[in-house]
Amino acid sequence: MTTARKYVYARKFEGFPKEGDLQLVEEKLPQLKDGEFLSKAVYLSVDPYMRAYAPSLKLGTTFIGGQVAVVTESKNITHPVGQYIVGNFGWRTHTISDNESELYVLPDFDKLPLSLGVGVLGMPGNTAYFGFLEICQPKPGETVVVTGAAGAVGSHVGQIAKIKGCTVIGIAGSDEKGKWLVDDLGFDHFINYKDDKFKEKLEQATPKGVDCYFDNVGGEISSIVISRMNLYGRVSVCGSISGYNDTEPAKATTIQRFLVGKQLKMEGFIVRRWTERWGEGILQNKQWIQEGKLKYSETVTEGFENMFQAFVDMLKGGNIGKAVVKV
Amino acid sequence: MTTARKYVYARKFEGFPKEGDLQLVEEKLPQLKDGEFLSKAVYLSVDPYMRAYAPSLKLGTTFIGGQVAVVTESKNITHPVGQYIVGNFGWRTHTISDNESELYVLPDFDKLPLSLGVGVLGMPGNTAYFGFLEICQPKPGETVVVTGAAGAVGSHVGQIAKIKGCTVIGIAGSDEKGKWLVDDLGFDHFINYKDDKFKEKLEQATPKGVDCYFDNVGGEISSIVISRMNLYGRVSVCGSISGYNDTEPAKATTIQRFLVGKQLKMEGFIVRRWTERWGEGILQNKQWIQEGKLKYSETVTEGFENMFQAFVDMLKGGNIGKAVVKV
């Protein structure tokens, strides 16, 4: 008999998630029925969206999230023992499933690390690939701004923009992140959003204005970026992490007059929208990695029991690249 | 020799336009050269966009605006005496022109009033037609919200939405306007944005959420409407009159999280974008009027010398339907 460990959403987040909001509990799993299989988490993902979705989650349920898992027992011929899968099982170590809609078989990664299945070759990677290319439609020579630039998605978006021949400005919250973006990933400029002269620095870094903005943060920083945009600019709204931990809805300078004046298009998205093209995104990102055009970084936390801390650290901007938990 | 009267932009608007910001002056016009013609304003337009564009206008220039004019003298075979035209000549009574890019010949209105050339059969009418249909792409049975609903554009948009089989909620600032929208124009609901219970009333009026939002106002009202939107909702941003007379940029609840959560699309526009389809809009709007499907109202001010007052009244929401000045 297998005992799973899992995190239960025990108390609504108020502001920053606190110790005790998620409860680590044990669950004895039953014997497998025909068609079912048991898998064991290998890498679990912590992502900003988890904080964003929390207000609509029911208390008492397993907290949401994806994982790379390996099949350890099976009564399902499609999922034999030893197979690696990516499952939306939530924060849990062991899972019994027979539901194809909550998982897919990990594609062939050649020799790339398995953890990329929740990173650059998984949901965050496809978020960058589809969310940026489909909504921003970047053209060579255009200027692209990315906020949350040192995160899993932002760092990936900026590199796609470079691949597409754009000038890329990354915005994040520490100069260490900025150094990584410029020196290692090839971003053209970095601006620390905590800089008192943020607005002036953005103006200096974007002498021809901004054509595409990939928005991970919302709030006043986004209003400032949008005020710099050119005619027919495109804004892809991926998230608004600046407000996720606010207890009151945040206010910022309204953006409508910029939308009208420059005839901007702004669109929010959830990556599920491109489920039917999932493989395309993974394949392209894998190819870019193999060609040396796309780099990634992971901030790995060891131990399932440290997952809550990894989540909070990520929300505070402690990670460079993708935050993952290794079991 | 003809003497024109014109309004010169003499002092930058600070908050609400004040007496003296525009100066009414006389200008002696020269003799016509070959290719030129002289026209005399019959109806002049006052529109919200004039306030929005003012910060980028040069002091000393004629204030911007469109007019229906009649040709009174001509050395241009395309524009004979007696012809009616619509010209972007600014606030002036007499104009010499030879520039086709700033005018077009008034289309055949059958027996409809000439003033409609700056209204429902002119720029505001095409703003409603293209700005709503092209960007919102409304479908039968959907719920449409319009702010600035009693203005020239808003009242028109709501009626197009009814023609397209939608449920329409109009938002404006007086119950008198609301009565006109519901009783005369066939809007399904009206909500006064000054109502303390605005949010609750909007919820009651939109039990199935909001699919399309035509935004004339920006600010907090827009944030509330956007928070009610359904998956894949569309927001057409036409203006943000709530902030035009602010001396500090307005702040409002940020909308990014609604854009992401419901995967909304939001686009600002300037109607010039559809210049090449101008005639299509006029023809369709004319047909709807003739079929009795599209009604219009005009708030007419008599006298060129009262134009500034008409402008300020319009900005304060004093008009129902299109504000025009008759010379």
Per-residue pLDDT tens digits for A133-173: 999 999 999 999 999 999 999 999 999 999 999 999 999 99
Task: Choose from A254, A255, A272 for mutation: most chain B CBs within 10 A.
Answer: A254
Which of A252, A264, A270 lies at the smallest CB-CB distance from B260?
Answer: A270
Q: Does a structural domain hold residue B12?
A: yes
Per the CB < 8 A criterion, the answer to whether A66 and A124 are in contact is no
Rg (CA), chain A: 20
Amino acid at B306: N
Cβ contact B237–A259 (<8 Å): yes
Check CB contact under 8 Å for A250 and B249: no
Who contacts B52 (Cβ-Cβ below 8 Å, separation ≥6)?
Answer: A257, A260, A261, B239, B240, B241, B244
Residue A130 in any domain: the answer is yes
- Return the number of CB contacts < 8 Å for A and B: 112
SS3 A162: helix
B80 alpha carbon, distance to own chain's centre: 29
Please check the confidence at residue B65 and state whether its pLDDT lies above 90. Answer: yes
Q: Is residue A259 part of a domain?
A: yes
- With a cut of 90, say whether residue B201 has pLDDT above it: yes
Are B29 and B81 contacting, i.e. CB atoms less than 8 angstroms apart? Answer: no
CATH number of the domain where residue A258 is located: 3.40.50.720
Say yes or no for a CB contact (<8 Å) between A238 and B260: yes
Domain that holds residue A66: 3-119+298-326
Report the share of chain B in percent with pLDDT over 70: 100
Residues A10 and A73 in one domain: yes
Percent of chain B with pLDDT over 90: 93
Give the model's confidence band at A319: pLDDT under 50 very low, under 70 low, under 90 confident, else very high.
confident
Among the partner-chain residues B259, B260, B268, the one whose CB lies closest to the CB of A263 is B268
**What number of CA atoms fall less than 13 Å from residue A269's CA on the CB side?**
23
- Of all helices (H) and strands (E), which one includes residue B223? helix B219-227
In this structure, is residue A289 part of a structural domain?
A: no
**Among A271, A287, A308, which residue terminates a domain?**
A271
Q: Is residue A100 located within the same domain as residue A34?
A: yes
Which amino acid does the sequence have at B57?
A: L
Chain B hits for A269, Cβ within 8 Å: 260, 263
CATH code of the domain covering residue A42: 3.90.180.10
Q: Which pLDDT does position B150 carry in this prediction?
A: 95
Mean residue pLDDT of chain A comes to 96
- Residues A242, A129, single domain; the answer is yes
Average pLDDT along chain B? 96
Angle, helix B278-290 to helix B123-136, in steps of 10 degrees:
100
A312, A50 contact by CB (below 8 A): no
- The answer on B176 and B255 residing in a single domain is yes
Do both A252 and A312 map to the same domain? no
Pick from B321, B216, B307, B316: nearest CA to B269 = B216
Q: Looking at beta carbons, which residues of chain B come within 8 Å of A237?
A: 256, 259-260
CB contact under 8 A, A254 and B261: no
Is the same domain home to A92 and A212?
no
- Chain A residue numbers touching B258 (CB-CB < 8 A): 268
Are A47 and A12 found together in one domain?
yes
The answer to whether the CB atoms of A243 and B254 lie below 8 A apart is: yes
pLDDT attached to residue A245: 82
Kindly state whether residue B279 falls inside one of the protein's structural domains.
no
Residue A318: per-residue pLDDT = 85
Instruction: Report whether pLDDT(B71) > 90.
Output: yes
Q: Is A293 contained in some domain?
A: no
Q: How confident is the model at residue A21 (pLDDT cuts 50, 70, 90)?
A: very high
More confident residue, B316 or B200: B200
CB contact under 8 A, B267 and A259: yes
Q: Which of B240, B264, B265 sits opposite A260 (nearest CB)?
A: B240
In whole angstroms, give the CA distance from residue B138 to residue B85: 33
Question: Do residues B233 and B312 both lie within one domain?
Answer: no
Q: What is the pLDDT of residue B242?
A: 84
pLDDT band at B311 (very low <50, low <70, confident <90, very high): very high
Q: Does residue A47 carry a pLDDT above 90? A: yes
Contact A260 B252 (CB under 8 A): no
Give pLDDT, residue A259: 97
For A58-105, the three-class secondary structure string (H helix, E strand, C coil) is CCCCECCCCEEEEEEEECCCCCCCCCEEEECCCCECEEEECCHHHEEE
Q: Do B257 and A215 touch (CB under 8 A)?
A: no
Nearest chain B Cα distance for residue A31, angstroms: 38
**Max CA distance (Å), chain A:** 64
Mean pLDDT within B262-274 = 97
Mind listing the pLDDT tens digit for each residue in A195-219? 999 999 999 999 999 999 999 999 9
Same domain for A193 and A105: no
Report yes or no: B202 and B225 within 8 Å, Cβ to Cβ. Answer: yes
Confidence of residue B7 (pLDDT cuts 50, 70, 90): very high
Q: Which of A237, A251, A263 sits opposite B256 (nearest CB)?
A: A237
Q: Distance between CA A204 and CA B21 in Å, rounded?
A: 34
The residues of B whose Cβ lies within 8 A of any Cβ of A are: 52, 215, 218-219, 222, 237-240, 243, 249-270, 273
Cβ of B254 within 8 Å of Cβ of A257? The answer is: no
Flag whether pLDDT at B1 surpasses 90: no
Rounded to whole angstroms, how far apart are CA atoms A255 and A265? 12
Q: What is the distance in angstroms between the Cα of A50 and the nearest Cα belonging to chain B?
A: 12
Domain total in chain B = 2
Answer yes or no: is pLDDT of B247 > 90.
Answer: no
Looking at CA atoms only, how far is residue B72 from chain A in angstroms? 36
CA distance to A81, A154, B255, per residue, from A172 (Å): 42, 9, 21
Residue A252 in any domain: the answer is yes
Provide the token pair at B14.
């600070």
Query: B214 with B132: CB under 8 angstroms?
Result: yes
Helix, strand, or coil (residue B158): helix
Q: Which residues on B lie below 8 Å from A52 (Cβ)?
A: 257, 260-261
Residue B11: other Cβ atoms inside 10 A? 13
Q: Once rounded to an integer, what is the mean pLDDT over residues B81-92?
A: 98
Whether residue A129 is found in the same domain as residue A113: no
Please tell me the predicted confidence (pLDDT) of residue B175. Answer: 95
ipTM of this predicted structure: 0.93
Q: Pick from B254, B255, B258 the residue to mutate for testing the A interface (most A CBs within 10 Å).
A: B254
Spacing of C-alpha B246 from chain mean position? 20
pLDDT exceeds 90 at position B258:
yes
Among A27-36, A169-178, B122-131, B248-257, name the one with the lowest average pLDDT: B248-257
Under an 8 A CB cutoff, do A268 and B254 touch? no
Alpha carbon of A97: minimum distance to chain B alpha carbons (Å)? 27
Cβ separation of B263 and A268 shorter than 8 Å? Answer: yes
Chain A residues whose C-beta is within 8 A of a chain B C-beta are 52, 215, 218-219, 222, 237-240, 243, 249-270, 273
Contacts of A262 in chain B (CB under 8 A): 268
Rounded CA-CA distance A288/A247 in Å is 40
Does residue B197 carry a pLDDT above 90?
yes
CB-CB neighbors (< 8 A) of A254 in chain B: 218-219, 222, 240, 243, 249-252
Mean of pLDDT values over A313-319 = 89
| Dist CA B259 CA A234 (whole Å) | 14
Task: Please indicate, yes or no, if residue B106 is contained in any of the structural domains.
Answer: yes
Cα distance from B232 to chain A (closest Cα, Å)?
9
Residues B206-230 pLDDT 10s: 999 999 999 999 999 999 999 999 9
* Domain match, B32 and B69 both: yes
Closest chain A residue to B217, measured at CA? A256
**Chain A residues close to B261, C-beta within 8 Å:** 52, 268, 270
Q: pLDDT (tens digit, 9 = 90+) per residue, B31-48?
A: 999 999 999 999 999 999
Residues A128 and A263 in one domain: yes
